[in-house]
Amino acid sequence: MQLSTYQYSPDRGWDKPLDPTLDSDQTWLILFGTSDIDALASGMDNLRTAFPQAIWIGCSTAGEILGPTLSDHTLSVAVLRFAHTKLRCAVREIDDTHASFEAGTHLTQSLAAPDLKGVFVLSDGLKVNGSELVKGLSESLPEKVIITGGLAGDGDSFQKTWVVVDKHPRSHHIVAVGLYGEHVGIAHGSRGGWDVLGVEREVTRAEGNVLYSLDGQPALTLYKRFLGERAAGLPATGLLFLLAIRNDLEEDGWTVRTILSVDETKNAITFAGDIPQGSYVRLMRANFERLIDGAADAADSVTLQDYPGGPLLSVAISCVGRRLVLGQRTEEEIEASLDGLPQGTEQIGFYSYGEISPLASGRCDLHNQTMTLSLFWEK
C-alpha cells in the first residue's frame, strides 16, 4: 500500500504537490473539510483532476485533523493506493431521520460480499438518527465485519453538513465504503473521559432520538435548569453537558448522547442517537485531564493484529463537544491519540456530531463525546 496525506488552505493552497501516480481503481481518497463548500471549490477541483479513478469519501467538520494538529477552514486528505484490496462505494439519500435504519440496511446490502472485511461510513450530521443508522448497518452484516465512521459536522452552528457524493459535496446523504479481501488490515479504538454527576432519572417519554420527559417532568425545562445561564446558548452549550444512559455493555457502564437541537414548543430535546424510553440517565460534564487521557486510552485499546509494518493510516474522529471543552488544549488529545500508535503512523480526522465504532463487546454502536480511531493498512 502507498499512502500520502495532504492539507489544502483557501489562502495558501496545498501544503505539497498532489501525486497523481497514486490514482487507480484501488485508490481510496478520504477527505475532511470546512462546511463552507465555496471555500474548498478550487481544492476539490484539484483533487478531481489528480484522482479521477479513486473511490472517494469525506464530509464537513467541526475542525480538521492532520497529524498532531487541528485546523479550521481547510481540507485534510489521505490517499491510499492498495495493491490487493478491493473497494466499493454505496450512497443513500436521507431527508427524514425515521428512515435511518432503512438507509443503513440499504447501504450494507449494497456492499455485502463473502470477502467484505470492513465498512467505513460517513453521514449527514443533522438529518439522521445515528443509532438507528448503526443498527441498520450492523443487522445486515456478519459480526466479523468491522464498521466505523462518523457523523458530519458544522462547527458549533448545527445548520448544514455535507458528505462527498460522486466527488462533490452533498447534504442529506450517507456514504459508505467497503474494503474487501484477505490483505486489508483494520483496527479500531474508542474511549471517552467524562464525569457522571447528578441524580439518576428515568426516561418517562421518548420517541427514537427525541426526549420529552424525565421523571414525568419536561426534559427541556429540567435541562435548562441544570445549565442555568448557559441555557441561552442551546443547542451549542448542550455539548458541554451530556446525557449518559445506563448501559451494562459499555466498559464504563454508560452510553453517551449529544444534543443536536431543542424544540421550545414541545419542550423536547433531539439527540444524535436513541434515548430508550424506560432507561435511566444522568448528566455528564467534562474533566480536562480525563478527556486527554481518554484519547490516549483510545490508542492503547487498538489491537494491530497481523500488522507487518509499513504504511499505516489512523482516522481520528472526536466529538465537537470535546473540542469546545478542551479549547486551546484540543491538540493535546490529538497528539495523545497519535503518540500511542506505531512510529510513522499517518493521521487525519475531524471533529464530528457522532462517532461510530464497535464496543468492547464487539457490537457496533453510535458514540458521542468520544475519541474514536479507525486504522487501515495492507498485509
pLDDT tens digits, residue range 362-377?
A: 567 777 778 999 999 9
What percent of the chain shows pLDDT beyond 70? 96
Report whether pLDDT(49) > 60. yes
Above 90 in pLDDT, residue 16?
yes
For the chain, percent of residues with pLDDT exceeding 90: 66
Q: Which three cell numbers stand for residue 156?
A: 458549533
Residue 361 has pLDDT above 60, yes or no: no
Cell numbers at 59, concatenated: 464530509
Cα–Cα dist 282/147, whole Å: 28
**What confidence tens digit (pLDDT) does each residue in 62-121 have?**
999 999 999 999 999 999 999 999 999 999 999 888 899 999 999 999 999 999 999 999
Checking DSSP bridges between strand 116-123 and strand 173-180, what pairing results, if any? antiparallel
Parallel, antiparallel or unpaired: strands 354-358 and 364-367: antiparallel
Report pLDDT for 157.
86
How many residues are recorded in the chain?
A: 379
Q: Rounded mean pLDDT of 326-349?
A: 93
Decide: residue 315, CB within 10 A, 0-12 exposed, 13-18 middle, 19+ buried.
buried
pLDDT at residue 249, as a whole number = 60
Strand (E) positions, 39-172? Answer: 55-60, 64-66, 69-71, 75-81, 86-93, 116-123, 146-151, 163-165, 168-170
Q: What is the mean pLDDT of the chain?
A: 91
User: How many helices (H) and strands (E) would you count in the chain?
Assistant: 7, 27
Quick: pLDDT tens for 211-236: 999 999 999 998 898 888 888 888 87
What integer is the mean pLDDT of 145-161? 92
pLDDT tens for each residue of 283-335: 887 667 778 888 888 888 888 888 999 999 999 999 888 898 888 889 999 99
At 258, the pLDDT band (50, 70, 90 cuts) reads confident
* Contact criterion met (CB below 8 Å) for 176 and 111: yes
Which among 174, 354, 191, 357 is positioned nearest to 274, based on CA atoms? 354
Closest by CA to 146, choosing from 177, 191, 106, 100, is 177
